[in-house]
Amino acid sequence: MTIARTTRLTALLAAALGAAAPLHAQEPRLEGRLPETARVQVDSVVTVARQAGLPTEPLVDRALEGASKGATGARIVTAVERLAQELRTARDALGTHSTDEEIVAGASALRAGATPADLARLRRARTGRTLTVASAVLADLVSVGVPVDTAVAAVIALAGGAADADYVAFRRNVEQDVALGASPVAALGVRLDAAADRGELGQSAGPASKPPRKP
Amino acid sequence: MSEDREWFPRLVEALREPVRIDPALDRRIMRRVAGEAVPRLRWHEAVRDWLTRGRPVRLTPLGGMALAAAALSGVVAGRFWISPPAERPAVLAMPASVSGAPAAVQFVAVAPGATSVTLVGDFNDWNVAATPMHAASEDGIWSVSLPLPPGRYRYAFLVDGTRWMADPAAPAAADSDFGSTNSVVTVGEP
């Protein structure tokens, strides 16, 4: 065997090991926290997600949450698989250049009832700015009782002119109004009018930014 | 009855007459006062007398407002100097952090009668022992502050190691896959 041939074989072997390594990579945070069968399955989902360029932290977090709450292994695996699919859908809707935080927040919005088309509209309406807080606020508004369609319209209406802090303040104000007894839709309408008065509604978002009608 | 009618006008007339004082009265009084011996005070009695004697103070409205403003600024300054910002109770908020730098977020739980409360969530690997909360009062208020970089975090409170509790002051997470509801905190970019 010549030196050149030995070198080529070594390089091939190293390449093969390097390619195979991620398939067997184990998430250290899962060690000792899950039943072994569930750990292997979750590890597999995490590995596939990593290879697809998806954020994997939320998957591990979801498995750890299930473990802390005493869920069965099967239930944990189901939850992790579902979240992986939502992350994939969110990334496809928001675009491949989206940050991990945007994808995670987008997945939350999907779980709250938004559609992939809604996320795509939000991306177009908020060009060049992060969608993390906007998507998160969308999910939060739904959680306080705002219908999904109305929440989507409000978040998109704010997309052109609102900073992240404006989104956070908007969500907080709506929550306070609801806590004081206002209906979620009425509270959202009032706060949206106030945002319009402050010039937080963008001028360039087009018809998608039209505020939702109050009841 | 007729007598009443006669003496009443005379009485009124007499009361309307100006009181006439002897012009020499002032001089007689002042002569008497000057003749009185004034007791001499010792120095410390004089100081005490000066300090404790009331005096009328005249103040213009502008001067009064200036005095009030100075007093108010003194109170405010004292409030900050006596209690440094780090020790003052922070409000539950969703702060914006600067370009990826962690922002301190305070979590508050209300759990009357609890013996322990821990904060558990995405930020501590859902480790039930990693972030114990501190009793902020005897009314069952528990709190802890954590530095969090921008992002969206799901969390819950674990009361007495057995009871999961969402944060009523935060939005509920839509994705609660394991029964109990979680809460969400979002830390945004500026």
Of A101, A113, A175, the CB nearest to B151: A101
Residue B1 in any domain: the answer is no
Q: Domain check: are A188 and A134 in the same one?
A: yes
pLDDT at B19 (0 to 100):
63
CB contact under 8 A, A143 and B186: no
The percentage of residues in chain A with a pLDDT greater than 90, rounded to a whole number, is: 61
Positive/negative CA dihedral, B112, B114, B115, B119: negative
pLDDT tens digits along A158-189: 998 888 888 989 998 998 999 899 999 999 99
Q: Domain check: are A69 and A114 in the same one?
A: no
Domain that holds residue B160: 103-187
> Where is average pLDDT lowest: A107-116, A122-131, B31-40?
B31-40
Strand, coil or helix: B146:
strand
| DSSP 8-class letter at A191 | H
Q: Domain check: are A110 and A161 in the same one?
A: yes
The reply to whether the predicted model has a pTM over 0.80 is no
* Residues 6+ positions from B174 with CB-CB distance below 8 Å: A108, A111, A112, A113, A139, A142, A143
Please give the mean pLDDT across all residues of chain A: 85
Q: Domain check: are A113 and A214 in the same one?
A: yes
Q: Domain check: are A124 and A52 in the same one?
A: no
Identify the band that residue B40 occupies on the pLDDT scale cut at 50, 70 and 90. low
| DSSP 8-class letter at B106 | E
Q: Domain check: are A59 and A13 in the same one?
A: yes
pLDDT tens digits along B75-96: 544 443 333 333 322 223 344 4
Of B151, B152, B188, the CB nearest to A165: B188
* Residues 6+ positions from B117 with CB-CB distance below 8 Å: B109, B111, B132, B133, B142, B157, B158, B159, B160
Nearest CA in chain B to A174: B171
pLDDT at A208 (0 to 100):
40
Q: Domain check: are A113 and A175 in the same one?
A: yes
Domain count, chain B: 1
pLDDT at B23 (0 to 100):
61
Tell me how far apart the alpha carbons of residues A80 and B95 are, in angstroms, rounded to a whole number: 30
Please give the mean pLDDT across all residues of chain B: 73
- Would you say residue B190 has pLDDT above 90? no
Buried b (16+ CB within 10 A) or exposed e, B129-143: eebebeeeeeeebbb
Tell me how far apart the alpha carbons of residues A49 and A85 are, in angstroms, rounded to a whole number: 9
Angle at CA A25, nearest 5°, toward A23 and A26? 130
Tell me how far apart the alpha carbons of residues A38 and A35 are, in angstroms, rounded to a whole number: 5
Q: Domain check: are A13 and A114 in the same one?
A: no
Q: Domain check: are A74 and A144 in the same one?
A: no
Domain that holds residue A69: 1-94
pLDDT at B86 (0 to 100):
32
- Would you say residue A9 has pLDDT above 60? no
Locate tokens 């928001």: which residue?
Answer: A94
Strand partners, B188: B96
Tell me how far apart the alpha carbons of residues A211 and B60 are, in angstroms, rounded to a whole number: 55
Q: Domain check: are A4 and A48 in the same one?
A: yes
Q: Domain check: are A182 and A122 in the same one?
A: yes
pLDDT tens digits along B10-22: 766 766 766 666 6
> Where is average pLDDT lowest: A33-37, A147-151, B92-96, B148-152?
B92-96
CB contact under 8 A, B182 and A65: yes
Which among A29, A34, A62, A65 is the top mutation candidate for probing chain B, defined by the most B β-carbons within 10 Å of its own β-carbon?
A: A65
Which among B92, B97, B177, B183 is the top mutation candidate for probing chain A, defined by the most A β-carbons within 10 Å of its own β-carbon?
A: B177
Write down which residue in A64, A94, A124 finishes a domain. A94
Residue B44 in any domain: the answer is no
Tell which wins on pLDDT, B6 or A188: A188
At B137, which CATH number? 2.60.40.10
Domain count, chain A: 2
Tell me how far apart the alpha carbons of residues A171 and A136 are, in angstroms, rounded to a whole number: 10
- Would you say residue B108 has pLDDT above 90? yes
- Chain B residue numbers touching A78 (CB-CB < 8 A): 177
- Would you say residue A88 has pLDDT above 80? yes
Q: Domain check: are A67 and A116 in the same one?
A: no
pLDDT at B79 (0 to 100):
42
Tell me how far apart the alpha carbons of residues A119 and B158 are, in angstroms, rounded to a whole number: 34
- ipTM of model: 0.74
Of B96, B171, B178, the CB nearest to A164: B96
- Would you say residue B119 has pLDDT above 70? yes
Which tokens sit at A96? 């491949």
